Amino acid sequence: MSAISSQLAQPVTPPISPPPRGVSRTTVVGERRSVQVPGWVRDLASFRRWVHSGEYPEKVRICYLAGEIWVDLSMEDFFPHNQLKNEFAFVLTGITKSQRSGRFIPDGMLVTNVAADLSCEPDGMFVSRKSWDAGRVRLVEGKEGKQIELEGTPDMALQIISASSTTKDRETLRELFWQAGITEYWLVDARGERLDFDILRRTAKGYVATRKQAGWVKSNVFAKHFRLSRTLDERGDPEYTLEVK
């Protein structure tokens, strides 16, 4: 049992207003429903206790981003987010299973990196067998023995940009994922006529977009090239294809 799960007997208090000491601000986007953030959530450690307390709201995207609590209550757009995310999960899961190279982890799993002061739920992650074996990533056991959090540094993180997450994905997470040591940050934006798919590779000074050739972009993490395309199906609706070579 982790140290986190032994610190769960904390009272839940009304929402923070103003934010408590240690948390610079709380950002809430979307209008679906309200969420109460306990007043005792003041830093990454207390945020993690909240996650494992049994009081943490399910099916709500909440991040701790270096002193900011970011709550997204907006609904997921079907084609440019849900279906696109599914295509990446389908293809990358197939690759990792066939090669026995690790695990692709779809959205819904929290990843925490203490060094980067970060805890969030990416749209997808990949953890190689080498990273598991080296202890770069571990599963954290919480309440009732459930494993709902990864701690450490995955090899790759995926974010699909929505109207509510543009700044978070393009700026905030780009910096924090780099600080966390994540080798590749995959960033996708399918909201407009242009379909953007970038693999950002980690360098000593930050992330740099990998150069494309005829739409193909190389991933060193998967040792493959990828190309994302969008067509229309029989109903005239968008259909996404992630090609691999």
Token pair of 135 as six digits: 């202890």
Indicate whether 11 and 87 sit together in one domain: no
What confidence tier does 31 reach under pLDDT thresholds 50, 70, 90?
low
Amino acid making up residue 108: G
Indicate whether 50 and 144 sit together in one domain: no
- For residue range 206-229, list pLDDT tens digits in order: 999 999 999 999 999 999 999 999
The domain of 11 spans 5-72
Indicate whether 143 and 216 sit together in one domain: yes
The Cα 142–Cα 226 span in angstroms is 36
Share of the chain above pLDDT 70, in %: 90
Indicate whether 28 and 148 sit together in one domain: no
Report if pTM > 0.85. Answer: yes
Query: CATH number of the domain that 176 lies in?
Result: 3.90.1570.10
What confidence tier does 9 reach under pLDDT thresholds 50, 70, 90?
very low
- For residue range 99-129, list pLDDT tens digits in order: 999 999 999 999 999 999 999 999 999 999 9
Indicate whether 64 and 91 sit together in one domain: no
Indicate whether 88 and 173 sit together in one domain: yes
Indicate whether 87 and 121 sit together in one domain: yes
Residue with token string 């395309």: 229
Indicate whether 107 and 220 sit together in one domain: yes
Indicate whether 20 and 91 sit together in one domain: no
Indicate whether 90 and 64 sit together in one domain: no
What is the number of structural domains in the chain? 2
Going by C-alpha positions, the residue among 127, 84, 95, 122 that lies closest to residue 106 is: 122
Instruction: Tell me what pLDDT residue 245 has.
Output: 98
The Cα 238–Cα 245 span in angstroms is 23
The Cα 119–Cα 112 span in angstroms is 4
What confidence tier does 1 reach under pLDDT thresholds 50, 70, 90?
very low
Sheet holding 238-244, edge to edge: 212-213, 216-219, 224-232, 238-244
Tell me the three state secondary structure of residue 240: strand
Going by C-alpha positions, the residue among 183, 208, 160, 206 that lies closest to residue 61 is: 160
